[in-house]
Structure 1
Amino acid sequence: MASVSVIIPTYNRRESLRRALTSVFQQTVPPLEVLVVDDGSTDGTKEMVRAEFPQVTYLFQKNRGVSKARNRGITETRGEWIAFLDSDDEWMPRKLEKQLHALHQAPQYRICHTNEIWIRRGKRVNPRKIHQKHGGYIFPHCLPLCIISPSSVLIHRSLFLEYGMFDEALPAVEDYDLWLRICAHEAVLYLDEPLIRKYGGHADQLSRKHWGMDRFRIYALEKVLASGQLNREQTLLVLEELLRKITIFVQGAKKRHKTDTVTRYEAKRQYYEAMQAALLRGR
């Protein structure tokens, strides 16, 4: 059986981390190792992990962000496959077993994700249609927003060598950025079975800390566009989504009277409109 390293970044989530770790150690196929990267917790996380889960490798860093935490986990672990788990989520007991079996049956895939159950403020809710999961060539579906949950993914270590790790310059949507880079080139295996519980609605979620989250997605789209690794069809898809997001972001900036921001992003819009027009003329 292939070896799996589990990486759990956390920050001041002692109680939900306990639930997450419990779900890892209830797996029918145990991982090779479990690593918790604590991003500066002050709530007794370290003491809880060492007292209740002594088999866990615990690493501490001082508030360097979730991307740095995940990247450190990648470099510090040795499994062939890597599974991430956010400290406020939990796995179903057969999550790793079912993914490893599916990947064994379809060895051409190097990344696998699953369906999920959403819990908001203690109640199960149905995801919106825009959050629908997909398998195969999913790059077009990755452009509007992140459709692969880090807690559901099982990813071969080689992909980080080819496409890079999480972008530590991003304070949010770092997963969206990584999936764009990978899914532009890699097919994705999808298991249409909810194998994680994803909890949301709490005050410390990153989406509540930053206004205009699309500016981070704009950055990610600009980056994948500038990579020079997209074909013409992909480039046009990225430009279409980029222009849509810039338009929405500018509207929000205008409402907040952020004049400098409006000016900067209006210039971006003109630049990408010209690029799009030039590509379309070349048909």
Structure 2
Amino acid sequence: MPVRDGARTVADAVHSVLADIGTHDELVVVDDGSTDGSDDLLRSMPGQIRVVANEGRGIVDALNTGLRLATGEFIARCDADDQWLPGHTELLVAELESDPEAVAVFGAAQLRGSKGDVVAHSVPPGSPTELRRAMLRGNPLIHGAVMARRGSIISVGGYRSVSGAEDFDLWTRLAESGRLGTIPDLIYDYQLSSASAHTTKRRRQARSTLRVLLQHALRTRELSVAGLARNALSAVWPVRRFWYRA
């Protein structure tokens, strides 16, 4: 769990994870230079939690720090303003254990607006073929609704600096190394940004998504002209799309 100045919401995020994981699991929280007391709050919380200071080096470095310090076979993420829903761990672990060829598995998420109400749901494509086709158009996946094999993430180089699309960049490289699985179950609660921040984020994510799609096309020769055109348009004039995620 990466956090920067998340004192208002991080306790609820931590509780949602600790309530869901097993006795042999651990939550690693990387505090990326918080100045609002998040670090003290986190260190006062009981349970299977390890807090690490990262001195404000950015989200990608925070994610790679957590990846490096984690010791489990499987890796999952929760953002400091989101929450895991009950069954998150059990459902994703079961899917990974039942399919040795899967390098990662994604579930569904509910999206909350600024007033706290659920405004949409994000459900991943139902088959590997549909998922692969969707990923040629953009990112149809929610980062917090994934569990991946730690070894698989490390083998493709971990997270890279792709502003606003470091997750999608990782998914494309994982998809090139093995199978991405999906389940329809609702396992994650995602807090949307404010309207103005979300518009700025969509522009940045669209530019980065376009870059990721082009890099993926160079590596695999898989390309969607419509996907490239849509992201190029969104980089200038962002439309309402829920699949652009940080």
Aligned to 2:240: none
Q: 1:124 aligns with which of 106, 109, 118?
A: 118
Q: 1:133 aligns with which of 105, 124, 140?
A: 124
Q: Alpha-carbon deviations, 1:80-121, whole Å to 9, x = none?
A: 111111111111222101211222222322211111111112
Q: 1:195 aligns with which of 182, 187, 194?
A: 187
- TM-score for the superposition, normalised by structure 2: 0.84
- TM-score for the superposition, normalised by structure 1: 0.74
- Does the Cα contact within 8 Å between 2:163 and 2:204 map onto a contact in 1? no
Larger relative contact order (C-alpha < 8 A, sep ≥ 6)? 2
- Does the Cα contact within 8 Å between 2:106 and 2:141 map onto a contact in 1? yes
RMSD of aligned alpha carbons? 2.5
- Does the Cα contact within 8 Å between 1:139 and 1:180 map onto a contact in 2? no
Name the SS for the 1:112 alignment partner.
strand
Q: Which runs of 5+ in 2 are unaligned?
A: 238-246
Distance 1:189 1:97 in 2: 15
Q: Alpha-carbon deviations, 1:23-48, whole Å to 9, x = none?
A: 11111634522111111111100110
Q: 2:55 aligns with which of 43, 62, 78?
A: 62
What's the CA shift for 1:209? 5.4
- Does the Cα contact within 8 Å between 1:35 and 1:73 map onto a contact in 2? yes
1:43-192 counterparts in 2 under 5 A?
Answer: 43-53=36-46, 55-121=48-114, 122-127=116-121, 132-134=123-125, 135-137=127-129, 138-168=131-161, 170-192=162-184
Aligned residue identity for 2:174: I
- Does the Cα contact within 8 Å between 1:117 and 1:197 map onto a contact in 2? yes
1:231-242 counterparts in 2 under 5 A?
Answer: 232=221, 234=222, 236-237=223-224, 240-242=226-228
- Does the Cα contact within 8 Å between 2:192 and 2:198 map onto a contact in 1? no
Aligned to 1:246: 232
Distance 1:50 1:244 in 2: 44
CA pair 247-167 structure 1, distance change in 2 beyond 3 A: same
Aligned residue identity for 1:125: V
Aligned residue identity for 1:107: P
Aligned to 2:11: 18
Distance 2:3 2:13 in 1: 10
Aligned residue identity for 2:119: V
Name the SS for the 1:52 alignment partner.
coil
Distance 1:207 1:31 in 2: 40
CA pair 209-28 structure 1, distance change in 2 beyond 3 A: closer
- Does the Cα contact within 8 Å between 2:83 and 2:190 map onto a contact in 1? yes
Identical-pair percentage: 23
What's the CA shift for 1:53? 3.4
Aligned to 1:213: 205
CA pair 55-133 structure 1, distance change in 2 beyond 3 A: closer
Aligned residue identity for 1:246: A
- Does the Cα contact within 8 Å between 1:143 and 1:180 map onto a contact in 2? no
Aligned residue identity for 1:214: A
CA pair 248-199 structure 1, distance change in 2 beyond 3 A: closer
Distance 1:136 1:211 in 2: 28
- Does the Cα contact within 8 Å between 2:138 and 2:227 map onto a contact in 1? no
Q: Alpha-carbon deviations, 1:37-80, whole Å to 9, x = none?
A: 11111110011011123642111123222111101111111111
| Count of residue correspondences | 235
Distance 1:221 1:205 in 2: 24
Give the number of the structure whose alpha-carbon radius of gyration is greater: 1
What's the CA shift for 1:18? 0.5
Name the SS for the 1:42 alignment partner.
coil
Distance 1:120 1:201 in 2: 8
What's the CA shift for 1:12? 0.7
